[in-house]
Structure 1
Amino acid sequence: MSMMDHCKDFLSWLDHDTSLNIFKGMDDPADLARVSCVSRSWRHFVIANGLSKQLCLRMFPPLSRVACVVELNQHGVKEHPEVGSSNSMEWLALQKDNRVYGYLARCCMSPVAMDCIAKAIGASSTDNIPQESIDHTLEERDNIAGRFSYWSSNGQINPNVPETLTYQLGSQICVIKEINIQPFQAHFQMGAPIYSAQSVRFKMGHQKASLDSLADEMFVWTYTSPEFPMAQENRLQTFQLPEPVLCIGGILQVELLGRVQRQEMDGLLYICISYVQALGIQLSPAFSVEILDPSGMFVLKRDQRVKCEPHATSDDESGILNENVRRELRDFRRVVNILRGHVMGIGAEDGWDEEDYEDDDFDEDVA
């Protein structure tokens, strides 16, 4: 056998289905990228068979709802292929899919995880507003300026009445790996009871239209987790999802199921949470989505001007400074709200107006 026979590409020896099964065996986006660099014929095979897209679909089944893929160029406008034959147009579309899905898969494989919750949307019930607002669950500390920081549900006689906490994530599209929750321990009550739930479950999805109500019909849930038991312990409890979840639409809901702790003073059952954290990878602004109501399909957009940066960059110091300012602002708001709740005769128009002091304004001041 000649030297040329030894060097012959195995793709020419095998039938298409066998070659396809071999390439599909790669479950790491980096391996698929390396394979594409071996030769022109291998790169052509990867692109023509949409292997990057197929890998993403295996990793994250919700991507099956992608209606189309759009690339934004350096000017922020959609890339349009030049006029040509149907074959050339189809090949350009395949190349675009390979770029977008290949990059998406690599970004989703990042080992770096961060808290993806941006803000609280609302709770199914709240015992005292603003002293026991859901906003307090975004703060890791359970004591601020000498006041306990936590969310509390309304009291119930029936232990099976559930509660929900709904949050907006910091990215329209992100990968959530685990959710951490710390029940609240009421040290100011006899026996220092812990107001945890019996179990917890998580939903992820997107909003339909506006968020005028927290009713389920306002949201489309594309993922529902298994039910996890919650310990009656004052610690940050980790709930590892069976596999990383691609949240499309940026809405997370925490379902608290079953009440275990009765308050001595009124005999009612409560659930109280001091901190909620969702760890994962935020894919914006490199990626964004456009939900196509009412079908639930969506457009996946890739902005070529930016890269996925799941880890801290050279702007660490300014980021820390901004976060410190936000934390101090939140602390000040809570102190003022607590005082407003205890001082008679002060109307909302005389007190703290949060709209006048948005976090974005402080970002500009400290930038």
Structure 2
Amino acid sequence: MENGIDFLHVLDPDMSSKIFMCLEDPSDLVRVSTVSPFWQQHVIANGLCKQLCLRLFPQLSKVDNVIELMSSTKNPAEVGSSNFTEWESLKKEHRAYAFLARGFTSFAVKQLIVEPIAASSTDNFPTENIYHTLNPSKRARRITYWSSEGQRNPAVPETLTYKLDGDLCLINEINIQPFQVFFQRGRPIYSAKAVRFRMGHVKQPKPPVGPPLDVLHSIHDCFVWTYTSEEFPMAQENRLQNFKLPEPVLCIGGIMQVELLGRVQKQEMDSLFYICVALVQIVGRSLAPAFSVDIDEHAKLTLKVPSYNQPSPPDIPSTNSSFFDQRHVRDYYWVEEDDESSDEEFDL
């Protein structure tokens, strides 16, 4: 506009920043920075992309340093303080947080579990271990599930802990299917009464994965939990149940724990309460391999950016595919109808 007035030249910097921070979508702020060199300078100098990311996800306030791994430029702290190095540092933070903001909305939504870490208890290891709660294969024509140990007190909780696909994951929802025991009389469903979710990171050197942790009762000592959800009621039904978080949650550290609260089904044979789970899916966006984090003993974070390339689409189907089809899940837990032993009753 020939006679237009650039409000950045009229208003003081603080007021201009407040106007820009009225934008809710980080992508809009990135677009603003491309309007003119002067606007770009204002966005970078005031760290507006970083401020907006912190407003969306306050956990990022613990980020103490940003490192671009693809850059050969020395860290400003290594070359001394100057206006040039300070400006280069601000530009680096702008690039990192602008790309991070882009990842929050554009990286692919997928199933995020990489591997199980531990179950608080397992009734029969390895036939009923936590590994059996992972994604089903269409070729896996067998009954697989995780079962807790039996308890006389139905209030005793259980936990399933998983490693996610990356240090930074934006979690939208969790899907859990309780297991219906087709080989017991009445085909009981051993669900929990409610579920709750924790997210966090390793507190000490990474614990081993496998049988040693599968019977570990002090799993909480291995991790720092930075987020705990509300409780969600679970239905005693043989279906994939969806638990959607009120807002997407940024998991920093790539560890998630499913808490199964309360038991509803008693086994007829031993009069003990059990919880059995057939399938767990954690759905969201992984910001790996574009981002990783280092966490020091003071819980300060170093945000690492290996590349500014958009990650390629995942091989794992998204939530829109037949991978999450309820019919697929039911097909997984299949029993030969002509198997004479299928009507016999077995102990968990």
CA displacement 1:150-182 (0-9 Å, x = unmatched): 000001010110000011112121111111100
Contact kept? 1:114, 1:279, Cα under 8 Å: yes
Amino acid at match of 2:227: Y
- Aligned with residue 201 of structure 1, among 196, 202, 209: 196
Q: Deviations over 1:124-168 (max 9, x none)?
A: 0000011101000003369944x3100000010101100000111
1:275-298 deviation per Cα after TM superposition (whole angstroms, max 9, x unaligned): 0000111111111111111x1111
Q: C-alpha displacement at 1:61, in angstroms?
A: 1.1
Q: Secondary structure at the match of 2:190?
A: coil
User: In structure 2, which of residues 212, 216, 223 is the aligned counterpart of residue 219 of structure 1?
Assistant: 223
Contact 2:148 2:275 in 1 (8 A): yes
SS at match of 2:24: coil
Q: TM-score, normalised by structure 1?
A: 0.79
> Which structure 2 residues correspond to residues 257-268 of structure 1 after superposition, within 5 A?
257-268=261-272
Structure 1: distance between partners of 2:143 and 2:291? 38
Question: Is the 8 Å Cα contact of residues 249 and 289 (structure 1) preserved in structure 2?
Answer: yes
Match of 1:326 in 2: none
2: CA distance, partners of 1:142 / 1:25: 48
CA distance in 2: counterparts of 1:142 and 1:180, whole angstroms: 18
3-state SS of 2:221 partner: helix
Equivalent residue number for residue 60 of structure 1: 57
In structure 2, the partner of 1:29 is 26
Give the secondary-structure state (helix, strand or coil) at the position aligned to 2:106: coil
Confirm whether residue 15 of structure 1 aligns to residue 40 of structure 2. Answer: no
Letter in 1 for 2:48: L
Aligned mate of 2:171, from 159, 171, 176: 176
Conserved? CA contact 1:113–1:310, under 8 Å: no
Alignment equivalent of 1:308, drawn from 295, 307, 310: 310
Asked if residue 131 in structure 1 is aligned to residue 127 in structure 2, the reply is yes
TM-score (norm 2): 0.83
In the other structure, the counterpart of 1:166 is: 161
Quick one: which of 297, 300, 309 aligns to 2:300? 297
Name the CA distance, whole Å, in 1 between partners of 2:33 and 2:4: 18
Residue matched to 2:233: 229
Q: Whose relative contact order is higher, 1 or 2, with alpha carbons under 8 Å and at least 6 apart?
A: 2
Higher helix share: 1
Are the counterparts in 1 of residues 121 and 148 from structure 2 also a CA contact under 8 Å? Answer: yes
Name the structure 2 match of 1:116. Answer: 112
| Aligned 8 A contact 1:178 1:278 in 2 | yes
Give 1:261 deviation, angstroms: 0.5
Unpaired runs of 5+ residues, structure 1, are: 317-330, 332-367
Q: Which amino acid in 1 is paired with 2:311?
A: E
Report deviation, 1:215: 2.3
How far the C-alpha of 1:112 sits from its partner, in A, is 3.2
What SS is found at the alignment partner of 1:125?
coil
Return the letter of the residue paired with 1:232: Q
Decide whether the 8 Å contact of 1:186 with 1:192 is kept in 2: yes
In 2, Cα distance between equivalents of 1:191 and 1:61: 49
CA distance in structure 2 between the partners assigned to 1:178 and 1:244 by the alignment: 8
| 2: CA distance, partners of 1:24 / 1:144 | 51
Q: Deviations over 1:190-214 (max 9, x none)?
A: 1111111000000011111231555
The Cα shift of 1:83 comes to 4.5
Worse-superposed segment, 210-219 or 227-236: 210-219
Structure 1 CA distance, aligned partners of 2:43 and 2:135?
Answer: 46
How far apart, CA to CA, are the structure 1 residues paired with 2:203 and 2:73?
25
| Aligned residue identity for 1:290 | D
Could you list the structure 1 runs, at least 4 aligned residues long, displaced by more than 4 angstroms after superposition: 81-85
Between 22-31 and 135-144, the greater mean CA deviation after superposition: 135-144
Once the two structures are TM-superposed, the CA of residue 78 in structure 1 deviates from its matched residue by: 6.5
Q: What letter matches 1:298 in structure 2?
A: L
Q: 1:274 to 1:42 in 2, by over 3 A?
A: same
Is 2:251 the partner of 1:247?
yes
Q: Measure how far apart 1:311 and its partner are.
A: 2.5
